[in-house]
Structure 1
Amino acid sequence: MSQEKKAMLATILCLLLMILGFILEKTNNPYAFISYLLAIFFGGYKQTKEGLLDTIQNKHLNVDLLMALAAIGACIIGHWFEGAMLTFIFCLSGALEEYATNKSKKEISSLMNLQPKTALLVNQSGKAIETAVSELQIGDTVLVPKGASIPIDGILISTASSIDESAITGESIPVEKGQNDELFGGTLNLGEALTMTVTKTSDDSLFSKIIRLVDEAQNTPSKTASFIEKIENIYVKIVLLAVPLMIFIPYLFLGWTWAESFYRGMVLLVVASPCALVASATPATLAAISNGARNGVLFKGGIYLENLAALKAISFDKTGTLTQGMPIVTDAVFLAESDEAVNMLVTMERQSTHPLAQALMNRFEDQYTMIYEQLDVKNIIGFGMAADKDGDHWQIGKGVFNENTVFDKQILARTNSLHEEGKTVIYLYKNEEVIAYFGLLDVPKPEAKQVLHFFKKEGIHTTMMTGDHKKTALAVAKELEIDEIYANCLPEEKTALILKQKETYGINAMVGDGINDAPALANAAIGVAMGGGTAIAMDVADMVLMQNDLKKLQMSYLLSKKLKRIVTQNICFSVAVILLLILSNFFQFISLPFGVIGHEGSTILVILNGLRLLQTISLDKSEQPPKFQQQKLSLSK
């Protein structure tokens, strides 16, 4: 039986025995106290045991011990019903906290259930044999039937398939995968049966890392939770000291009876207990971490989620973080008949794996009319590619192939303009005459401008750090309206800038995806890795965006702000209730039953308030960044 079910069963049993004792008491049955005693035992056994073990083993006094003493004290002065009711409500709040914790941790449980235990290993004879995932080795071939979960990380070697990666990225839309594309364990094959080659062991798969990260994060408290835990021991000692004073001072100096003084001491023991204060941060933090995991954001500890709300400066790597990571053709100018030029362009570039060649292929793959299969295409290192066809000499590349080539002034002016915009210019020559040229640029991601506008509106300083040259950096920065730019940066220079920024602003963040970003990610107050980046970047970062979607960063910031707001509400509310109940007890306005209800009721309310963090954080889609306005950019290096 789970701990949650045991806690709920103990609560119900305590309630039934308390009701039975109340009925027996009203019928003047002399054995009513036995029913109350059993209610206190079954309802308070778990908390009392934990409180005593914590006190003996860790020398740490906690609220569980206070509640046990208060119940015993109520029974000593003959308030059996009050003692049983205190135990019941305390047991109820404990069961609710157990439920809140389990509900917050259900994301990792559901992830673990999604992780397959067996796989269909294809042996040398081509037969599929069911094998434990833990026994799979790198290089093994695995068959994944239609509708089955992919058991382990690998490379697709069969035909294309549609994969549901929502378990990892939080994105419900399936992803189309082709040959040699990467597959992740725990995702779902929606297409026909596929075969794959294993590239990682079960312990090293992305899915296993996600489970470990979420588990570690939920067991790493936030600063607020740690602080509350530290003061709990001191606070309980103060209460235990205050209770005897509350009993003896009124009895000796204010003329109270012994019964009234002792009764008020027991009420103080109940109402001064910091149960609600202790529950103010941890359930809320667990709920927020689970919310992030469900939406494809992994926090490696509550402290990083909490710190995000205090963010003052954020820096981004350019390539793959703010931009798509691959160039696209932004300008295409043909100076002669285009059909033949496009055919030659595609024929030559299809034989290259260079990113610029791939960009041109993507741009013109639907526009060519013929591929010249027998064409002998030569790679000219440092320049580009060349080929001869029907007596004509064709060349394509970034530079000038022949010193005698002369550019038309208009072409030169236009291409210079493209260079000034930070674009890479590719020329297509026919017999040493430029007949077409193309501008290529790694353009910003669709959501980048909106996210940067959001952070600037929040008063957070934005910076871009890139190893790219100044012109390209300026082109991207102007589009995104970034506050500060650093170009031509080496990894050590990014790290130095991050450390300087941390010294200036305090809480800062670095967002990146590459090996060169790892030192900066490690030195920032909060390192944020893009899920599509390198394993090293993910390992050293404090939080990971499993999708390469910057809107998840905005969502995380709003989640952190909501966590801070809810924890602050809980702390203020719980402290106010404790002070009000203590004053009411001193002036004899409150009885033990109402003290129990006020105290434990406040505990239940703060737990329920923390569970609001399980709700999805919505972004205002109607909010759009302002149209671009020229601004002064700080460009370094």
Structure 2
Amino acid sequence: MTTSAKEQFVEKVDWTARFELIAAILSGLFILAAWLLSKNGTEAFSITLYILAFLIGGYAKAKEGIEETIKNKELNVEMLMVFAAIGSGIIGYWAEGAILIFIFAISGALETYTLNKSHKEISSLMEMQPEEAWLITEDGSEQKVPTASLSLGAVLLVKPGERIPVDGQVLSGITSVDMSAINGESIPVTKQENDELFAGTVNISGAIRMTMTKPSSETLFQKIIAMVQNAQSEKSPSQQFIERFEGTYVKIVLAAVVIMMFLPHFLLNWDWTTTFYRAIVLLVVASPCALMAAIMPATLAAVSNGAKRGVLFKGGLHLEHLSSLKAFAFDKTGTLTTGKPVVMDFIVRKDTNPKEALALFAGVESLSNHPLAKAIIQYANEQEVIPERNLHIEDVPGYGIKAETDNGMIRIGNPRFVGIDLVESFEDGIAETLANEGKTVIFMRDEHGIVALAALKDTLRKEAVTSIKELKALGIRTVMLTGDNEKTAHAIAEEVGVDSYVAECLPEEKVVHLKKLLKNYETVGMVGDGINDAPALATATSGIAMGEGTDVALETADVVLMQNDLNRLSYAIKLSRKMQRIVKQNVFFSIAVIAILIISNFMQVVDLPLGVIGHEGSTILVILNGLRMLNKIE
């Protein structure tokens, strides 16, 4: 989106809010002036001012009502208000009709304010997207160009203090990058050659060259913006029901008003003035303005609240679903765990120097790109051990690595590769103990037996345990679905505290188990981050993806945890449940007010001024109650 498009987007929203508020204020001033003039006996001029209050205050809502009526070929709430105001004027109640329009305009301005708050996160995200980038041309010079003109593979220069313009990879240079716009973390992350970069994040320290890997229209920022926009435009089932009900209800009200204009005169001996007056009051008090405002403001405020705190909902439907979930299934790697194994134990043969063994171990693994190999090299660096070089190795896929050293052949790999008997006898069977703790064990052997072993483990996310506890406190059952073996799965399940787990689970099997959970619990959420989780995310009642997950997971999920913080999951559920409580309060309150006012009108207890205040006052209270969703959930 270009800068001008951003400005137009923000200006359009701001102008609508300003216009409605100014119109409402002017309408109120005209009403006050008309009332003061009527006290001085200048009735004709006061009526003129009341009519001006009608036109100025009611313009926005009347225009909206007429356009919607023409578009849908069906009357709506806005048209009922127009009819009520006109009817009030016809029977000489100019002040009451003008006050009706004034309060209606105020409630409309409040609704627009809610929309503004929900759009705020989008406009702030838009501001983070650089519109220009330094393109390095074929002759090596730098040229500032629009990001929209860049193509895949473009080489860019990013200077210190600038925002990274597109998603890509570091080509050369080392720097620190402020990733807070993406993951919410305030601590800068070091980026060097081949590391991934995201548009909108800030290059802090060094100048780097980068290669563009995704079109500017498909950056993570664009996806975030699209998610929030879709969430705002997609209505919840409750809102859709209310809007479908609106057309029928308006017809019922108009029919009741017509009956009210004649029937009481003949059945109850009311005079024609009273009959017509009570029909107009009925038109005012029976209008479902409060009911129509019961859901949307609260939903928009909740979406805005979540976006502000790193939880993106793709629509009101998914926000509503979260409140009813009875169980959650979790992927393990990258979701409950960091997905990055670390060396937990390094044990050597009694007659072996630990540093020499680690140098040889790391030297062999330095020639591999396997995640476990990287973990061992990282461990050697932490121990300040320099890996041995100039080794001749042979990769044996599925088993391990052979290496020729000055002291003979060594093997590094799993028990089958180095010898199961040797593994079982090494250090009194320590390998089995480590495996039972959920650790992956790699062995190194020479011609005399096992030289050393490295026990690695994928560590839990620091917030995983507290997140599971919070979900249990909310009455939600937790299940872990993982492709790991039984021992590793059991150890992780015990550590994180889930209610149950399923081990050695292939992607298609995750869907099978999820369907079983759906059968038992009816509504189930799935949390994952990888391509293999996408089918399960799509199957679940609500699919929740980790923000650093794959594109497929992000696109399939209904909710995204942008900060990769599992604690946001319980926050999202609390947010959804609070929204449902507020919606129910609004619906019951608005229906009760309408019922009381209708009965009171029929009993001739409520006059038009009180009916206007009761009706429009309840609408404002409902909107204000919905705006409570903007507050942080404790």
Q: Fold-level match, TM-score > 0.5? A: yes
1:225 alignment counterpart:
239
1:492 alignment counterpart:
508
Percent of counterpart pairs with the same letter?
48
Give the TM-score of the pair, scaled to structure 1.
Answer: 0.92
* Pairing 1:552–2:568 present: yes
Task: Give the letter for the 1:494 counterpart.
Answer: K
- Matching residue within 517, 536, 539 for 2:555: 539
- Which stretch shows the higher mean deviation, 508-517 or 128-137? 508-517
CA contact (8 A) 2:418 2:445 kept: no
Deviation of residue 377 (structure 1)? 4.8
1:31 counterpart SS class: helix
1:606 alignment counterpart:
622
CA pair 32-93 structure 1, distance change in 2 beyond 3 A: same
Task: Give the letter for the 1:468 counterpart.
Answer: D
Matches within 5 A, 1:46-85: 46-85=60-99
CA pair 410-354 structure 1, distance change in 2 beyond 3 A: closer
Deviation of residue 463 (structure 1)? 1.6
1:44 counterpart SS class: helix
**What is the distance in 1 between the residues matched to 2:468 and 2:417?**
42
- Which stretch shows the higher mean deviation, 485-494 or 600-609? 485-494
* Pairing 1:24–2:44 present: no
CA contact (8 A) 2:331 2:480 kept: yes
1:367 alignment counterpart:
383
Deviation of residue 562 (structure 1)? 1.2
Matches within 5 A, 1:287-326: 287-326=301-340
1:207 alignment counterpart:
221
Deviation of residue 610 (structure 1)? 1.3
CA pair 251-183 structure 1, distance change in 2 beyond 3 A: same
Deviation of residue 375 (structure 1)? 4.4
**What is the distance in 2 between the residues matched to 1:333 and 1:350?**
19
Deviations 1:381-409 (A, max 9, x none): 55434545554655433236566974574
Give the TM-score of the pair, scaled to structure 2.
Answer: 0.93
* Pairing 1:159–2:177 present: no
More helix by share: 2
1:249 alignment counterpart:
263
Deviation of residue 583 (structure 1)? 2.4
1:326 counterpart SS class: strand
Deviations 1:327-346 (A, max 9, x none): 22222223333232233233
2:3 alignment counterpart:
none
Matches within 5 A, 1:35-434: 35-334=49-348, 335=350, 336-387=352-403, 391=407, 394-399=410-415, 406=422, 409=425, 411-434=427-450
**What is the distance in 2 between the residues matched to 1:404 and 1:44?**
85
**What is the distance in 2 between the residues matched to 1:474 and 1:403?**
26
CA contact (8 A) 2:426 2:450 kept: no
CA contact (8 A) 1:314 1:463 kept: yes
- Which stretch shows the higher mean deviation, 288-297 or 210-219? 288-297
CA pair 143-66 structure 1, distance change in 2 beyond 3 A: same
**What is the distance in 2 between the residues matched to 1:482 and 1:461?**
8
- Which stretch shows the higher mean deviation, 3-12 or 373-382? 373-382
**What is the distance in 2 between the residues matched to 1:111 and 1:581?**
45
Task: Give the letter for the 1:473 counterpart.
Answer: A
- Which stretch shows the higher mean deviation, 351-360 or 133-142? 351-360
1:10 alignment counterpart:
23
- Which stretch shows the higher mean deviation, 577-586 or 122-131? 577-586
* Pairing 1:454–2:470 present: yes
Task: Give the letter for the 2:39 counterpart.
Answer: K
**What is the distance in 1 between the residues matched to 2:422 and 2:511?**
45
1:342 counterpart SS class: helix
Deviation of residue 135 (structure 1)? 0.9
CA contact (8 A) 1:108 1:215 kept: yes
Deviation of residue 434 (structure 1)? 2.5
1:151 counterpart SS class: coil
CA pair 602-173 structure 1, distance change in 2 beyond 3 A: farther
- Which stretch shows the higher mean deviation, 60-69 or 493-502? 493-502
**What is the distance in 1 between the residues matched to 2:259 and 2:578?**
41
Deviation of residue 548 (structure 1)? 2.3
CA contact (8 A) 1:521 1:540 kept: yes
Task: Give the letter for the 1:204 counterpart.
Answer: E
CA pair 333-269 structure 1, distance change in 2 beyond 3 A: same
* Pairing 1:440–2:456 present: yes
Which runs of no fewer than 5 residues in structure 1 stay unpaired?
619-637
* Pairing 1:511–2:524 present: no
CA contact (8 A) 1:346 1:368 kept: no
Deviation of residue 369 (structure 1)? 4.3
CA pair 402-87 structure 1, distance change in 2 beyond 3 A: closer
- Which stretch shows the higher mean deviation, 383-392 or 101-110? 383-392
2:415 counterpart SS class: coil
**What is the distance in 2 between the residues matched to 1:603 and 1:617?**
24
Root-mean-square deviation (Å): 2.1
Deviation of residue 113 (structure 1)? 2.2
Deviation of residue 191 (structure 1)? 2.3
1:476 alignment counterpart:
492
**What is the distance in 2 between the residues matched to 1:227 and 1:403?**
67
CA contact (8 A) 2:424 2:431 kept: no
**What is the distance in 2 between the residues matched to 1:617 and 1:348?**
52
Deviations 1:297-318 (A, max 9, x none): 2211110110100001211111
**What is the distance in 1 between the residues matched to 2:274 and 2:554?**
62
1:464 alignment counterpart:
480
**What is the distance in 2 between the residues matched to 1:101 and 1:383?**
59
| Count of aligned residue pairs for this structure pair | 618
CA contact (8 A) 1:170 1:294 kept: no
1:325 counterpart SS class: strand
Which runs of no fewer than 5 residues in structure 2 stay unpaired?
1-11
1:314 counterpart SS class: strand
Deviation of residue 165 (structure 1)? 2.7
CA contact (8 A) 1:339 1:368 kept: no
**What is the distance in 1 between the residues matched to 2:526 and 2:212?**
33
- Which stretch shows the higher mean deviation, 36-45 or 14-23? 14-23
CA pair 43-516 structure 1, distance change in 2 beyond 3 A: same
**What is the distance in 2 between the residues matched to 1:291 and 1:502?**
29
Deviation of residue 189 (structure 1)? 1.9
CA contact (8 A) 2:173 2:207 kept: no
CA contact (8 A) 1:160 1:177 kept: yes
Deviation of residue 60 (structure 1)? 2.2
- Which stretch shows the higher mean deviation, 32-41 or 292-301? 292-301
1:569 alignment counterpart:
585
1:627 alignment counterpart:
none
1:578 counterpart SS class: helix
**What is the distance in 2 between the residues matched to 1:467 and 1:169?**
27
CA contact (8 A) 1:343 1:368 kept: no
Task: Give the letter for the 1:142 counterpart.
Answer: L
2:6 alignment counterpart:
none
CA contact (8 A) 1:392 1:431 kept: yes
1:368 counterpart SS class: coil
CA pair 43-402 structure 1, distance change in 2 beyond 3 A: closer
**What is the distance in 1 between the residues matched to 2:268 and 2:458?**
81
Deviation of residue 251 (structure 1)? 2.5
CA pair 612-176 structure 1, distance change in 2 beyond 3 A: farther
Task: Give the letter for the 1:411 counterpart.
Answer: E
**What is the distance in 1 between the residues matched to 2:494 and 2:45?**
83
1:558 counterpart SS class: helix
